[in-house]
């Protein structure tokens, strides 16, 4: 007989984050890392920030190990809270700096679209990065972003001039 999990409104955000924090701290401790894990209030859906002297080892090549850690934490949390929002795990603000650099690069390309009027196709991106780009141009009066409606995991966004009404 399966037990049905019930969550209250207070559980929907803080409890999954607390579980994620505890699991992350324990997991990294068992792996031999000396870390401090803090909740990251700057991230809207809930995030965990890891501080350590061994950041490079946790981040891995191009953030791949960090992605794996985040995936594991979310799997554990969703086992107990299936409707919990995805927890973002960051190490020494690596993701934040990476996202800021990506948005700066996209803004440069958008300036090119503004100057020339020609559309620019961006590099393949996962859904999280595409949401960041689309959010950046949501209210832009001149440039809009578009991505194809297919089911590919990585898609290329196109930046183009908005059509006048």
Report the C-alpha gap between 109 and 100 in whole angstroms: 14
Q: 47 vs 43, 104, 115, 143, 163, CA distance in Å?
A: 6, 22, 38, 30, 37
Query: How much is the pTM?
Result: 0.73
Task: Phi first, then psi: give them for residue 58, nearest 5 degrees.
Answer: -80, -30
For the chain, domains (ranges, CATH) are 14-92 (3.30.300.20), 97-161 (3.30.1370.50)
pLDDT tens digits for 54-98? Answer: 999 999 998 999 999 999 999 999 999 999 999 999 999 999 899
């Amino acid at each position: 007989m399966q037990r049905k999990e019930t969550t209250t409104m207070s559980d929907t955000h803080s409890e999954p984050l607390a579980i994620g924090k505890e699991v992350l701290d324990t997991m990294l401790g068992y792996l031999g890392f000396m870390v401090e894990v803090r909740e990251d209030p700057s991230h809207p859906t809930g995030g965990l920030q890891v501080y350590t002297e061994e950041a490079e080892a946790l981040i891995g090549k191009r953030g791949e190990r960090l992605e794996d850690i985040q995936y594991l934490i979310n799997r554990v949390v969703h086992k107990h809270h299936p409707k919990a929002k995805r927890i973002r795990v960051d190490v020494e603000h690596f993701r934040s700096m990476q996202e800021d650099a990506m948005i700066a690069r996209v803004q440069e390309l958008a300036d090119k679209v503004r100057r020339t009027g020609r559309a620019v196709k961006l590099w393949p991106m996962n859904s999280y990065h595409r949401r960041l780009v689309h959010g950046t141009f949501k209210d832009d009066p001149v440039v809009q972003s578009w991505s194809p409606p297919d089911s590919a995991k990585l898609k290329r966004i196109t930046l183009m001039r908005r059509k006048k009404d």
